Amino acid sequence: MMFQRTGGVDCVIYFSLPNPWEPIYCCMADRAENHRQLLNSLEEAAVLLDRDGIVYHSNSMFRSLIGNQKPESRSLKELLPAIPEQWLHTSLESDEVSAFVFHSPVVGCSLLASVLPGDQYRILMIWKKEEELPSMVQLQNLIPFGILLLDTNGNILKCNPAGRKLLDLSSSGFTNLNRVWSQSRDRANRRRPQEHAPWSRALEQGKSIHVGPVSLAQSVLDIHCIPIQSESGQVLVVLQDMHREHRNQNRLRNALEINRSINSLLMDLLRVPGPEETIHRALRGALELIEADDCLMITEEDSGSRIAFVEGTLKDLVGQVNSVDPWEFDPALRKEGALLIRNMDALPQLVPGIKPGEYRGCLAASVLYEKNRRGLVLILRKASRFKSRERRILQLLVPALSAAIFKFRYEARLNLMATTDPLTGLFNRRRFFAVLESAVRDKTPPAILQMDLDLFKQINDSLGHQAGDRVLEVLAAELKSMETDGVTAARTGGEEFMILMRNEFASRYREISEELRKSVEQLEIEWDPEPIQFTLSIGATRYIPGEKLADFYARADKLLYQAKESGRNQSCFESVSIPGR
């Protein structure tokens, strides 16, 4: 172990572990993919570097530290120019663990960095030190291994804080490691003889001795003893806390399990039919992984926000509009990634309809909902508050939520293109007849208006197709103004339009047809050299229960033909009574 203090750097620590040991983090990460999974599971800011200092992968904590840049394929020296280049180069080339402190203008405070070696890649971990820089003794506390120097009688000459903690030397008062050894018991509950102590054997045999795991002073330790070749006959003892290793391994296993669950969720999202069900499946997946009660997606609107999707018990809140903009209400929500909402008293203002005190925990993550609209995912729990581990799970889920939103937008756009007329925005012929096929099964027989623009070809020929398109757009706007739950309009051909009327509107189809015809007659479009006026011919009829859909349509088409043959700009209806009316 070696400590250095040099100009330009506050303090530097180099320490290496005797072979065949490797740093615990690198023991668990022998492949690049495992390195990536390890970094994502760490609470500290960390990056994966090659020997040239190029970033291969970074976790969210590091990206947040440097201002949410994308560091991949960039040089670490470019991202943090204040890192002393000499020490960085030495650390990347060395097979030893190194740590150093430097001041970073990019972050605005001092940083403590540690490089952990691996076979192909290096892991750089960074701790932000906004408070006073640690002393040399405090810095030693970062070393997770107990290190002791013993004489030939087992007396402790030197010991770092980690060693005192692992052996409980402060409370026991022992200054001789042989006494600690003799007070412990083996697996058969027998006292351990002093001559079996590994440091005694190391001195006797003149070679390194490794034992473990060993229960010693209420700790489970891995012990490595290295005899120092000198006349004093000293031995260096390195202690590793096996509980710490098990915790780190469990943490990595949990991270791998979460990654598998997220990958499974992503595969599910690809198979889910329908754009809206994709969002619901993603929100259900978040609820299952984080074990929460409710999950909401709030979208940004022109005058506030709207609850777009809900999973859980709050489905009656879907569609609710709120004048409060969450990103203005709490600026912390503007940051990329997941965060814990600590001010639970403000939750009813973000989500009206939630009672104060109803939930104890809330997680939030901002996502891009549409090109210029943000989305906010809120995860709520009634029983307890969320912890940092669950925040990290949501952070890992953000790409899955973003993928679900992308799939939702993509499928919604495809559906829109397949069911609407691009010029007018009305339903196209395919979509209209699908709705009509459903309407004829209603208890109340529906009615349809089949319409044709009068002399539309003359408008195109005399004034141009731009004028014709403008006429179609103005007529479509007039039809859209009539649309409601029981009225559906569509463009079914070049200048042909249809309206479907259901329920109480169906009985007023004659009246509505004439009102529409007279309203269109009054329309006027500003155009050069003179304003454009146009009229409609309409054939209107009502469905006869039991008749074929083709017959229903043929009757309306025949009535439209009669209206055009009779001079145009009129509505035609059956002159005889139709059964079922």
3-state SS, 196-218, equals HCHHHHHHHHCCCEEEEEEEECC
- Please name each of the domains of the chain with its CATH number: 2-140 (3.30.450.20), 145-245 (3.30.450.20), 272-418 (3.30.450.40), 429-572 (3.30.70.270)
Residue 181: strand, helix, or coil? helix
Show the tokens assigned to 136: 């040399």
Q: pLDDT (tens digit, 9 = 90+) per residue, 83-129?
A: 888 878 888 887 666 667 778 888 888 787 777 777 677 777 777 65
Angle at 356 between CA 293 and CA 298, to 5 degrees: 55
Strands (E), 242-356: 294-301, 304-311, 321-322, 337-340
Show the tokens assigned to 384: 């307890």
Rounded to whole angstroms, the Cα distance separating 485 from 147 reads: 77
Q: pLDDT (tens digit, 9 = 90+) per residue, 323-367?
A: 888 887 777 777 777 888 888 888 888 888 888 889 999 999 888
pLDDT at 76: 87
Q: Identify the weakest region by mean pLDDT among 123-137, 419-433, 442-456, 476-490.
A: 123-137
Type and span of the H or E element at 404: helix 388-419
**CB-based contact 148:161 (threshold 8 Å):** no
Whether the predicted pLDDT of 53 surpasses 70: yes
Show the tokens assigned to 361: 């925990």
22, 311, 390, 495: the catalytic one is 495
**CB-based contact 489:426 (threshold 8 Å):** yes
Q: Identify the weakest region by mean pLDDT among 28-37, 117-126, 476-485, 563-572.
A: 28-37
**CB-based contact 513:538 (threshold 8 Å):** yes
What is the average per-residue pLDDT within 441-469? 92
495 is catalytic: yes
Give 217's pLDDT tier (boundaries 50, 70, 90): confident
Q: pLDDT (tens digit, 9 = 90+) per residue, 247-261?
A: 666 777 777 788 788
Listed residue (162, 103, 98, 99) closest to 132, CA to CA: 103
Q: What is the DSSP letter of 292?
A: -
For the whole prediction, is pTM greater than 0.85? no
Which position has the higher pLDDT, 492 or 148?
492
pLDDT at 34: 60
Whether the predicted pLDDT of 561 surpasses 90: yes
Whether the predicted pLDDT of 472 surpasses 90: yes
Give 2's pLDDT tier (boundaries 50, 70, 90): very low
pLDDT at 4: 32
HSE of 147, CA atoms in CB hemisphere, 13 A: 13
Show the tokens assigned to 61: 């904590």
